[in-house]
Amino acid sequence: MKKGRSLAGRYFQYGLLTLIVHLAASCSDSPPPPPPPSNMAAAAPNPLSTQVRADRKLIVAFGDSLYAGYNLDPGKGLAPMLEKSLAAGGLQAEVVNAGVSGDTSAAGLARLAFTLDGLPRKPDLMLVGLGGNDMLRGLDPSATRDNLNAILRETQKRKIRVMLTGMLASPNMGRDYATAFNSIYPDLARQYGLPLYPFLLDGVIGRRAMLLPDGIHPNDQGVNLIAARLAPIVSKELQP
């Protein structure tokens, strides 16, 4: 019971913090970001310009700031830490950081083809983690679902194996919003037969020692925990 209260408390704190972020974004004098440009080649760097060794698996981490290593030193983001966790478990892999801070699911969809076309070969696995910024902006969950569905259709067409990492709606978004949003990831995982890590921030959110001062993004220690939890699932998916 104590554990349950602790989890509930952390989730409540998550709601308060995301509300603050949401209000800050709403009250900002800055205009909303423009829609993703159609020419993504001019808008985003090639995530991987070097060749991958033939004896290494190629994994693409395609997501937002939680993937991109927001406010972390080089080598401390999710991609490099997952690579280290996999190596510690005996799997040699190149994990490409294709995370872009601030990306919505629509922005991710807009850059998907450019990202995949810029790789030296088809990845052995692609992690997809988008939708958190949609939730923070209060965007319609049906649009988030449609965008993620389009991403998965494209990866399916290219015969790329995918693992979804999910997000949960903040409690302050209301029950109806949470019901619509939280069902997106398990529904799509079932539809496409994909492995799902239900909540990327599980074990991190609400724990001050695991978070940056904003209270939402993981710090080095938090990313290390997430990578350690993801690694066994990723390794299992890459078994012959």
| Closest among 125, 95, 128 to 109, alpha carbons compared | 128
Per-residue pLDDT of the chain (240 residues; tens, 9 = 90+): 444 444 444 554 555 455 434 433 433 333 333 344 444 443 444 455 456 677 799 999 999 999 999 999 999 999 999 999 999 999 999 999 999 999 999 999 999 999 999 999 999 999 999 999 999 999 999 999 999 999 999 999 999 999 999 999 999 999 999 999 999 999 999 999 999 999 999 999 989 999 999 999 999 999 999 999 999 999 999 987
Instruction: Tally the residues of the chain.
Output: 240
pTM of the model: 0.82
Any residues with CB less than 8 A from the CB of 168 and at least 6 apart, and which? 11, 14, 178, 181, 182, 198, 199
CATH 3.40.50.1110 fits 2-27+42-237, yes or no: yes
Q: Phi and psi dihedrals of 125, rounded to 5?
A: -160, 145
| Closest among 83, 139, 131 to 109, alpha carbons compared | 131
For the annotated catalytic residues, the residue numbers are 65, 214, 217
In three-state secondary structure terms, 188 is: helix
pLDDT for 5 = 45
In three-state secondary structure terms, 229 is: helix
Parse the chain into domains and list their residue ranges. Answer: 2-27+42-237
